[in-house]
Amino acid sequence: MLSAGNDIVSFAEIDPVRTNQAAFYKKILTDWEVLQYQKLADTIAAFEVYVWLLWSVKEAAFKFLRRLNSQIVFSPSKFIVGDIKSLEISAFKSLGFDETKNALNKTTWHGHITVDKTELMYFSVIGVDYVHSIIHQVHNSGESYAGVKHITDTSAQNQSSEVRKLCLDQLRQLMPGIQFNINKSEQGVPFIYNIDEKVTHPVSFSHHGHFVAYSFVI
């Protein structure tokens, strides 16, 4: 399964009071996931951060699977986060998480998410202002890379151009001299095209407020 999926949530854009209301979080979390928070309350201090961590994992999984099955429906209660473990930030650097170059005030997490009978592995970074999650399949033939950027202009057009520029900048660092562009399939799914070698790579973009983010496999 070669695919990519990521999601970012900006804490400035969420309503913490509403997130803590059962009517709201029960639309996102299963009862079991709500109970799991008790084990993490010492390390993820705010419940609303936990809710949006799981949302970002579920949304990233949805994007990952939609590339493989365009008929899939995003139903948060059916995307089950099985485990949430703290992870050394050094592990993320080896994954190509560009945002972990500055590890200050960030915590890193990983675990598994199950959708129907498919189990995927996720990695998440919780910063002061955002949570960013990617799906990374260890059986993939490629390596995952991801990045986050704070932007000033939050228009949809600027979010789109900034995240593509950020992604292309990392590609140029990884493979100097190779020409890439970013296109969309007929189904609207983005992909990276290596012009020189005529091969494509899956890429996922996300944005929320003043943050844009990507992940790709290459």
Partner 1 sequence: MTREEILNELKKVIAPYTTNKEMLAGIDDNTDLIKDLKINSANLVDIIIDAEAKYDIEIDYDSADKMVNVGNCVDVINEKLKEK
Footprint of partner 1 (CB under 8 A)? 7, 9, 13-15, 18, 23-24, 27-28, 52, 55, 59, 73-75, 77-78, 155-156, 188, 207-208
**Bridge-based pairing state of the strands 211-217 and 199-208:** antiparallel
Helix pair 47-66, 31-40: axis angle to 10 deg: 130
Q: Are 123 and 134 in contact (CB under 8 A)?
A: yes
Report how far Cα 182 is from the mean position of its chain's Cα atoms. 18
- Whichever of 163 and 218 has its CB closer to partner 1, that residue is 163
Least separation, in Å, of the C-beta of 2 and partner 1? 23
CB of 182 to partner 1, least distance (A): 18
Nearer to partner 1, 22 or 128 (CB): 22
State the minimum distance, in angstroms, from the CB of residue 127 to partner 1.
Answer: 16
Quick one: 138 or 156, whose CB is closer to partner 1? 156
Considering the complex, state which of residue 13 and residue 129 has its C-beta at the smaller distance from partner 1: 13
Are 22 and 76 in contact, with CB atoms under 8 Å apart? no
- Shortest distance, CB of residue 197 to partner 1, whole angstroms? 31
Whichever of 10 and 108 has its CB closer to partner 1, that residue is: 10
Cβ 11 vs Cβ 51: under 8 Å: no
- Least Å distance, CB 91 to partner 1, is 27
Question: How far apart are alpha carbons 137 and 125 in whole angstroms?
Answer: 17
Closer by beta carbon to partner 1, 9 or else 44: 9
Residue 175: which region, alpha, beta or left (left: phi > 0; alpha: psi -120 to 50)? beta
b/e per residue 14-30 (b: at least 16 CB within 10 A): beeeebeeeeebeebbb
Question: C-beta of 9: minimal distance to partner 1 in Å?
Answer: 6
